[in-house]
A and B are shown apart, each in its own frame.
Chain A
Amino acid sequence: MSVPEPRSPLTTYGKRGRQGAPSDHPIGIAEANLAIVQVQARRGRGAEAAAAFQAQFGSALPAPGRFVHTTNASAVCIGPDTWLVTAPFVSEGALAQRLESALSGIAAITDQSHGKTALRISGEKARAMLEKGCRVDLHLRSFGVGNAAVTPIDHVTVVLAQTDEAPTYYLIAPSTLVRSLLDFLTASAGEYGYTLG
């Protein structure tokens, strides 16, 4: 029997489609189906892990507060010598295995694909919406494409990264709390109009 499709906490949650106030530029809110793997370098071997990652994925693991996007994966620094690596979900455990083979003995690899749920938020009012719950200064002068932060939004701690100038943000939240986070986001987006994908 092949492995069935995993279900996200948002598969059956939230009213889909165009919601909120009328607007020509509604905010887009959608789940991103990502494999998410936590990489923690062995004690004192962060640089080695970054280099080994680069050899396999084409870009070094990023510095604190930063996010990198390579051709086949993205990585965001979430703590000292600790990263989340993401890639489009293909099959159960595939990304974790790629990282295991690339970083064997250099880093601890922990699959978090099910434990974390990624949301993609895009649109000119996306920043205003996030500012209702996010204490990080998201103005382009202090946070732009390539920046990342681990920070609470409302009451849920997320990994937040900006990936383009639309602007588009990715939020990676604990799966058991992501429905509450979505409640907050949709309530906050109401006045700007949004589409839940």
Chain B
Amino acid sequence: MTQPNRLPNGGRIDRTKPLIFKFDGRALSGFQGDTLASALIANGVRLVGRSFKYHRPRGIFGSGPEEPSALVELRQGARREPNTRVTQAELFDGLVAQSQNRWPSLAFDVSAINGLMSPFFAAGFYYKTFMWPAKFWEKVYEPAIRRMAGLGRAAREPDPDHYEQMHAHCDVLVVGSGAAGLAAARAAAETGARVILAEQDFEFGGGLLMEPHLESWRREQLAALAAAPEVTLLPRTTVFGFYEHNVLGAVERVADHLPVPPEHGVRQRTWVIRAKEVVLATGADERLIAFPDNDRPGVMLSGAARTYVTRFAATPGRRGVLFTNNDEAYATAFSLVDAGIDVTVVDVRTDSDAASRAKSKGIEVLLDSEVAGTVGKAAVESAFVRKRSSESGRNIVADFVAVSGGWNPAVNLASHTRAKLVWDPAIASFVPGTPVARERSAGAAAGRFGLKAAAEHGQDAGRAAAEAAGFSARSVMPLAFPGRADEATTAILPFWEVKANGKGKTFVDLQHDVTADDIRLAVREGYVDVQHAKRYTTHAMATDQGKSGGLVGVAILAAARGEPIEKVGLPTYRPYTSPVTWGAFAGRNVGKHFTPIRRTAMHDWHVRHGAIFQETGLWLRPLYYTTTGETGWDPILREARAVRKAVGICDVSTLGKIDVQGPDAGKFLDRLYINTFSTLAVGKARYGVMLREDGFVFDDGTVTRLGPEHYFVTTTTAKAAEVLELMEFASQVLWPDLDVQFCTITDQWAQMSVAGPKARTTLARCVSGADLSNEALPFMGTATGTIAGCPVRLYRVSFSGELAYEVSTPAGYGEQVWQAIIDAGRTDGILPYGLEALAVLRVEKGHVAGPEINGQTTARDLGFAKMIKKKGDFIGRVLAERPALLDPDRPTLVGIRALGHDFDKRLRGGAHLVSDPDGRESLGWVTSVTRSVELDKWVGLAMLKRGSDRVGQRLFATFPLKNEVVEVEITSPHHVDPENARVRA
């Protein structure tokens, strides 16, 4: 396949490695070393996309991350990636790209009619048009806008590739590898500092890649850096943000240049770089000039045109016009002429050094002139050129227009640090002011243009950065930069716009279709501040971040306000300098790796026995077990019945467990709980309740005294970490005088509750070394022994209301002990039970849990008034005595029962209690409900005003969301065994 616009010689492409790729279904060829952009240009493809709002035809405008127009869908299927800049996509064999934002085809796009409607699509269009009628917004406007908006389509399938993060530390991070960056990295490396050099391109060198005479210097620097042991070279890496404490974020496109990442490899890697010092050698972004129809395919930045010709040997056309206000852009004219391409220079200035040099080479230069329009259908066919003072002019036949309005130092990263930007009239742009973070800008990023000047500035910056990081710069070698001294230049003439005067559109932002007129409209409508004008017009808010047109829009805003640009200022830059895919941020934390999974010691047993798991925090807990396919309440009630009638076993390892030791351990716990533990006998357990400082209940659990100075504390699963935090705070800040030591032992102990009338029978078959009789091991007693040879501790506590033991064993024995108890209980009908049955049992018994301890209830509300100690302070005591918390009208805990046995008339948590079926006055609310296996009806717990006075009354539980009203009887919270006889049996 021929590439009509490929030059016969030159460039950095490897002509021995041809690559075949497809654009919009058409097979094309390029070479290794091409970007998709350079390959498209080499093939003469000029129309590449349609613009965002007006669907205007667009071509390739830039050559790097500044590209506003040439965005495509790259790859197919699950790997399809929308809005990819063709200028940054490295060509590979088999690459498939599709244009986007067009229908039915790129050449004929129905929505281009938006262009004719453009008077209606001016800035603020959405705000003005879609206001009334309000009800139209959701049903009509938003769906229509959503259909029209957006560019490419994201893949529907899960991303098959992997991404990861890397945390790096260095003494000197150098961002950018042009002359300044290479010199900075080399100098820093020579001091022995740890250096990271990040370059967004796949080749290091920046502007050096267009200078064959500097190639040997570039190679020498790179070879030295590659050989330095403490230097990390990161090609294809964009530094996207500069954050507090010299932390920078970068994304490395590890395998984007390959059809598929290699096995075990990642597609992209996010770098979190902690750098002692940073050198920002990010170069400069060329700015556009706003002139009528400056978006037509074939119009491109002059530096981009030069890049394509010199680096890629691909010519944007056969005859060009260069529109400039500065001398630097003449390099493009010289490169074009060297490549045999005719060019006419249109310079707004009356004279310049570079113009003289051009003329001496026989290049046509039109001074004091401007390009006032382009002509063509889908691409430029000629440029309308005239004297600046004149209305009339002539059309110059040209198939491309290279434009340069000057260069803006790439100050984004410096601006992220909140360094002020300072106006530099010499370059008509902003440069970074005094650094705030430990960074410095070098070369073009600091406004030092010219390769030699940049290299010198870079070396100074690299040396200074290394010294600031604590290294001696005495060993830094002289620069030995072979380049010519940078030639004398004439100053830039600030020049922003050739007004359209009704003919065509002058774009300041090609990606968001914002024109100079839009900016002026914003000013007329009162959005004069740069921040307001930006948001009103969406200028510079696209993913190109206004790299080429941002300052142009600001200049037009300044002119409309009649003020100098430096007074208007730039909007603050914020991350990200370039778009970053979600995958790169998610890294490995996708799917089931989103958070770590916490598994108990018996997890594998649960899996093997049909457990359906519930995520509770990070934990996976069995909800119920089913192997027969039974559904709904069936497995839950079956498990709960086993506990009420025989025996069940439940994994309660997730309860928080804290080991508390020390001479003041008892005193410490006394101050944390509403009740007293310093008086607890060794070997006994006691239920305890903790308050928050504001007097509401915080958590509950049991405390067991294992020795005179040794306690074992349990917390709820949900509050385990918070209770430990509270202990740390209390010990370190509130009572540093107390000699107490504590640590979490949640993971050390596997814990299981063995509950039911036959619990003792079952355990007696498997426990050795412990007397389980009621006399030796009474309710709230503890014992030690072994099960299957494994050490166990037995706590006779009960959550279910049945005779119950919590058995704990070091986690490594958990499954063995669990299995031994199951084996021992088989003849008793033992069943494992999960969270659902646990909830059935605790609601029946009237034990409070999360729905009751919800941060709004006090100890008195929940029936714990008698537990509150009379003497001694504890956390929450004072504020629990506030009058409102002592109000006898406060809702208190009661039980509720449906009257009939009809399970279809269900109770619901959240229902309100009212005195008649249509009642509007809520007397309280239902907190927890369950089908009771004991009473064979719906029962629940509720918070009810003057609850204890109402026991025996009938009320209605109303749930208006579902139009349900159920008559209930108010009871004690204890639906089962209110005398507590079973737990003591």
**Is there a chain A Cβ closer than 8 Å to B661's Cβ?**
yes
State which residues 120-171 of A face B: CB under 8 Å. 131-135, 137, 139, 141-142, 154-156
CB distance from A135 to the nearest CB of B (A): 5
Asked if A110 contacts B659 (CB within 8 A), the reply is yes
Q: Chain A 174-197 against B: per-residue CB contact (8 Å), 1 yes, 0 no?
A: 111101110110011011010000
CB distance from A180 to the nearest CB of B (A): 4
Asked if A112 contacts B745 (CB within 8 A), the reply is yes
> Which one of A9, A116, A191 lies within 8 Å of B599 (CB-CB)?
A9
Asked if A1 contacts B747 (CB within 8 A), the reply is no
**B265: nearest chain-A partner, CB-CB:** A191
Asked if A132 contacts B264 (CB within 8 A), the reply is no
Asked if B810 contacts A7 (CB within 8 A), the reply is no
Asked if B812 contacts A137 (CB within 8 A), the reply is no
**In the docked arrangement, what's the CA distance between A179 and B601, Å?**
12
State which residues 405-463 of B face A: CB under 8 Å. none
CB distance from A82 to the nearest CB of B (A): 8
**Is there a chain B Cβ closer than 8 Å to A113's Cβ?**
yes
**In the docked arrangement, what's the CA distance between A190 and B261, Å?**
13
B-side contacts of A8, CB under 8 Å: 812
B-side contacts of A181, CB under 8 Å: 596
Asked if A108 contacts B662 (CB within 8 A), the reply is yes
Asked if B169 contacts A137 (CB within 8 A), the reply is yes
B-side contacts of A43, CB under 8 Å: 662, 738-740
CB distance from A6 to the nearest CB of B (A): 3
**In the docked arrangement, what's the CA distance between A181 and B747, Å?**
15
Asked if A187 contacts B663 (CB within 8 A), the reply is no
Asked if A176 contacts B598 (CB within 8 A), the reply is yes
CB distance from B721 to the nearest CB of A (A): 11
Asked if B168 contacts A131 (CB within 8 A), the reply is yes
Answer whether A111 and B748 are a contact pair too, CB < 8 Å, given A42-B663, A43-B738: yes
> Which one of B262, B588, B661, B811 lies within 8 Å of A184 (CB-CB)?
B588
State which residues 558-589 of B face A: CB under 8 Å. 588-589
B-side contacts of A86, CB under 8 Å: none
Asked if A139 contacts B748 (CB within 8 A), the reply is no
**B588: nearest chain-A partner, CB-CB:** A187
Asked if B747 contacts A175 (CB within 8 A), the reply is yes
Asked if B816 contacts A4 (CB within 8 A), the reply is yes
Asked if B598 contacts A177 (CB within 8 A), the reply is yes
B-side contacts of A92, CB under 8 Å: 791, 810
**Is there a chain B Cβ closer than 8 Å to A3's Cβ?**
yes
Asked if B790 contacts A4 (CB within 8 A), the reply is yes
Answer whether A177 and B813 are a contact pair too, CB < 8 Å, given A21-B263, A43-B739, A110-B745: no
Asked if A176 contacts B786 (CB within 8 A), the reply is no
Which listed segment binds A: B129-137, B158-166, B475-483, B692-700?
Answer: B158-166
> Which one of B266, B748, B786 lies within 8 Å of A115 (CB-CB)?
B748
B-side contacts of A133, CB under 8 Å: 165, 167
B-side contacts of A108, CB under 8 Å: 659, 661-662, 741-742
Main secondary structure of the interface of A (DSSP, over half): loop
> Which one of A1, A114, A155 lies within 8 Å of B810 (CB-CB)?
A114
Answer whether A40 and B741 are a contact pair too, CB < 8 Å, given A1-B789, A115-B748, A132-B166: yes
**Is there a chain A Cβ closer than 8 Å to B614's Cβ?**
no
B264, B746, B813, B816 interface centre (most CB from chain A within 10 Å): B264
Asked if B588 contacts A188 (CB within 8 A), the reply is yes
A-side contacts of B588, CB under 8 Å: 132, 154, 184, 187-188
**Is there a chain A Cβ closer than 8 Å to B618's Cβ?**
yes
B-side contacts of A131, CB under 8 Å: 166-168
Answer whether A176 and B599 are a contact pair too, CB < 8 Å, given A1-B768, A6-B810, A92-B791: yes
CB distance from B194 to the nearest CB of A (A): 7
Asked if A20 contacts B743 (CB within 8 A), the reply is no
B-side contacts of A137, CB under 8 Å: 169, 274
Answer whether A7 and B816 are a contact pair too, CB < 8 Å, given A114-B810, A177-B618, A190-B264: yes
CB distance from B927 to the nearest CB of A (A): 30
A-side contacts of B596, CB under 8 Å: 154-156, 177, 180-181
Asked if A139 contacts B169 (CB within 8 A), the reply is yes
**In the docked arrangement, what's the CA distance between A177 and B619, Å?**
9
B-side contacts of A44, CB under 8 Å: 739
Q: Chain A 6-48 against B: per-residue CB contact (8 Å), 1 yes, 0 no?
A: 1111001000000011000000000000000010111110000
A-side contacts of B215, CB under 8 Å: none
Asked if B167 contacts A4 (CB within 8 A), the reply is no
Answer whether A115 and B811 are a contact pair too, CB < 8 Å, given A181-B596, A184-B588: yes
A-side contacts of B208, CB under 8 Å: none
Asked if B266 contacts A40 (CB within 8 A), the reply is no
**Is there a chain A Cβ closer than 8 Å to B595's Cβ?**
yes
Q: Chain B 723-751 against A: per-residue CB contact (8 Å), 1 yes, 0 no?
A: 00000000000000011111111111110
A-side contacts of B274, CB under 8 Å: 135, 137
A-side contacts of B740, CB under 8 Å: 43
**In the docked arrangement, what's the CA distance between A1 and B749, Å?**
21
CB distance from A143 to the nearest CB of B (A): 10
Asked if A180 contacts B597 (CB within 8 A), the reply is yes
CB distance from A86 to the nearest CB of B (A): 14
**Is there a chain A Cβ closer than 8 Å to B870's Cβ?**
no
**In the docked arrangement, what's the CA distance between A157 and B164, Å?**
19
**Is there a chain A Cβ closer than 8 Å to B788's Cβ?**
yes
CB distance from B165 to the nearest CB of A (A): 6
> Which one of B194, B597, B739 lies within 8 Å of A42 (CB-CB)?
B739
Q: Chain B 765-803 against A: per-residue CB contact (8 Å), 1 yes, 0 no?
A: 000100000000000000000101111000000000000
**B597: nearest chain-A partner, CB-CB:** A180
CB distance from B171 to the nearest CB of A (A): 9
**Is there a chain A Cβ closer than 8 Å to B529's Cβ?**
no
**Is there a chain A Cβ closer than 8 Å to B467's Cβ?**
no
**Is there a chain B Cβ closer than 8 Å to A2's Cβ?**
yes
**Is there a chain A Cβ closer than 8 Å to B600's Cβ?**
yes
A-side contacts of B749, CB under 8 Å: 114-115
A-side contacts of B662, CB under 8 Å: 42-43, 108
A107, A156, A177 interface centre (most CB from chain B within 10 Å): A177
**In the docked arrangement, what's the CA distance between A43 and B227, Å?**
53
> Which one of A107, A132, A174, A179 lies within 8 Å of B164 (CB-CB)?
A132
Asked if A3 contacts B597 (CB within 8 A), the reply is no
B-side contacts of A113, CB under 8 Å: 748, 810, 812
Answer whether A20 and B811 are a contact pair too, CB < 8 Å, given A108-B662, A132-B167: no
CB distance from A106 to the nearest CB of B (A): 11
**Is there a chain A Cβ closer than 8 Å to B969's Cβ?**
no
Q: Chain A 76-118 against B: per-residue CB contact (8 Å), 1 yes, 0 no?
A: 0000000000000000110000000000000110111111100
Asked if B739 contacts A7 (CB within 8 A), the reply is no
**In the docked arrangement, what's the CA distance between A4 and B788, Å?**
8
Asked if A12 contacts B604 (CB within 8 A), the reply is yes
A-side contacts of B165, CB under 8 Å: 132-133
State which residues 259-288 of B face A: CB under 8 Å. 262-266, 272, 274
**In the docked arrangement, what's the CA distance between A95 and B272, Å?**
40
CB distance from B398 to the nearest CB of A (A): 50
**B247: nearest chain-A partner, CB-CB:** A135
**In the docked arrangement, what's the CA distance between A4 and B168, Å?**
44
> Which one of A111, A141, A175, A187 lies within 8 Å of B162 (CB-CB)?
A187
CB distance from B791 to the nearest CB of A (A): 6
A and B contact pairs by CB, cutoff 8 A, 21 listed: A3-B786, A4-B789, A7-B601, A12-B604, A40-B741, A40-B743, A42-B662, A43-B662, A43-B739, A44-B739, A113-B812, A115-B746, A116-B747, A154-B596, A175-B811, A176-B746, A176-B747, A177-B598, A179-B599, A187-B588, A191-B265
Mark B residues whose CB is within 8 Å of A.
162, 164-169, 194, 262-266, 272, 274, 588-589, 593, 595-601, 604, 618-619, 659, 661-663, 738-750, 768, 786, 788-791, 810-813, 815-816
Top 9 nearest A-B pairs (CB, nearest first) are A6-B812, A115-B748, A180-B596, A115-B747, A108-B741, A1-B789, A190-B264, A108-B661, A40-B741
Given contacts A179-B597, A187-B588, 13 further A-B contacts (CB under 8 A): A1-B788, A7-B815, A92-B810, A93-B791, A111-B810, A114-B747, A115-B745, A132-B166, A139-B169, A176-B599, A177-B597, A179-B599, A180-B593
